[in-house]
Homo-oligomer: A and B are copies of this chain.
Amino acid sequence: MTSHIDLVARPSTKAQIIDAGLAELHARGYSGSSVEDITRAAGVPKGSFYNHFSSKEELAVEAVRRYSGMAGWVAGPDGGPALARLRNGFEALHAVLRGHQFSRGCLLGNMANELADHSDGVRAELAESLDQWSATVAVLVAEAQRNNETAATGDAYRLGRFIVNSWEGAVTRSRVARNDEPVEDFFVTIFDLLLA
């Protein structure tokens, strides 16, 4: 019976640690979050951390993966105009930023700046997440090009990467400005000029 409970409980402890770790890393950064902070926030014993992760770095890799899967970038439903679905995805992220008064930023950008030089594991996971997101944006740009929703003639994959990188830059600037202006600059320049 006990071993049955253990088998059921273990994945849940790991998931609790990943969720709490994600929140701590997002709010305080990697250096600013200790394993003890994370297990305390998860409500699990500190020792249980090492049953699931060999290091804080390994947790950070998992937290980045989880964040990418649920970060709020959701393009609109298939069937509508591609540019409207693209805008919808960034508007959803904008609402999240506003909810945090432009603090915290994007975990991908934060971890990139803090860890890219120091952890190959985290860097590889960030590269994968950003590449996937860029490809999703590129597919929408390509659809908009095919349907003549945009006059932009550039390579859709390049535009996809550029748009994601520009979003990250806008988010960083919005943390400094503590207002919407960088995000508005992004929407106006991308949708009313670049993709018009």
Contact = CB atoms under 8 A, between A and B. Distances in A.
Given A112-B172, A168-B173, A169-B166, A189 B159 contact: yes
* A contacts with B: majority SS: helix
Given A154-B188, A169-B166, A29 B175 contact: no
Contacts of A29: 31, 113-114
A154 B187 CA distance: 12
A123 B165 contact: no
Contact of A103 (B116, B165, B172): B116
**A103, A164, A182, most chain B CB atoms within 10 A:** A182
A116 B106 CA distance: 13
Contact of A168 (B114, B154, B172, B192): B172
